[in-house]
Chains A and B, each alone.
Chain A
Amino acid sequence: GNSVTQMEGPVTLSEEAFLTINCTYTATGYPSLFWYVQYPGEGLQLLLKATKADDKGSNKGFEATYRKETTSFHLEKGSVQVSDSAVYFCALSGAVWYSSASKIIFGSGTRLSIRP
């Protein structure tokens, strides 16, 4: 079945460092891929998405490219800020064949802490 694997956390970086959070997936067909961010005590917010191979999603300085050949969707940011401290979830969409529902399959999350 479909699955998402993302790098274990926590990840601790200094402000202005380069960030990479790895995400790989297993899926049949052509799912959409997502990164969600969860700030402390809050629900998840969509950070970016890509719907087909070679698409690049970007938002708030974060980027991720849909790589079908490596089944990856790694999250990157060139210069992180303290305000980027949060938990990041990689996810993919998968249709439920017997209903009209879409199911989003999430990775286990990566906690990111940025030191001033």
Chain B
Amino acid sequence: SQTIHQWPATLVQPVGSPLSLECTVEGTSNPNLYWYRQAAGRGLQLLFYSVGIGQISSEVPQNLSASRPQDRQFILSSKKLLLSDSGFYLCAWIGSGGTDTQYFGPGTRLTVL
């Protein structure tokens, strides 16, 4: 069966520090991968998605970037965090082959101080 992992689970970082969040998927190949952010009490904002290694599409221009160095690995980064980057970051995947059901990881709660 497929599983999706995110780490770290919780992170507290000072303003201006770098960020690296990692997401990995097991049990599937060539998934579509997604990064979402959920601000406190708010809905989901799609940040990036990827259909393959090295292929990244950005939905919202901002302080963050994403990379996909391996088929089942998706990384969210920032060179300098802002206070507004605080939130709950969710990674998700959809299998290849026409399926459209999205599965989510457990999330990373980021607090920027």
Interface residues of A (CB under 8 A from B): 32, 34, 36, 41-46, 49, 89, 91, 93, 96, 99-104, 106-109
Contact = CB atoms under 8 A, between A and B. Distances in A.
Interface stretch (B12-20, B72-80, B100-108): B100-108
B107 A43 contact: yes
Contacts of B46: 103
Interface string B71-104: 0000000000000000000101010100011111
Contacts, number: 59
A101 B101 CA distance: 12
Contact of B43 (A41, A93, A106): A106
Q: Which 3 residue pairs are nearest across A and B when measured between Cβ atoms?
A: A108-B43, A93-B100, A43-B104
Nearest to B97: A100
Nearest to B50: A101
A103 B44 CA distance: 13
Contact of A101 (B57, B104, B107, B109): B57
B100 A102 contact: yes
B32 interface: yes
A45 B104 contact: yes
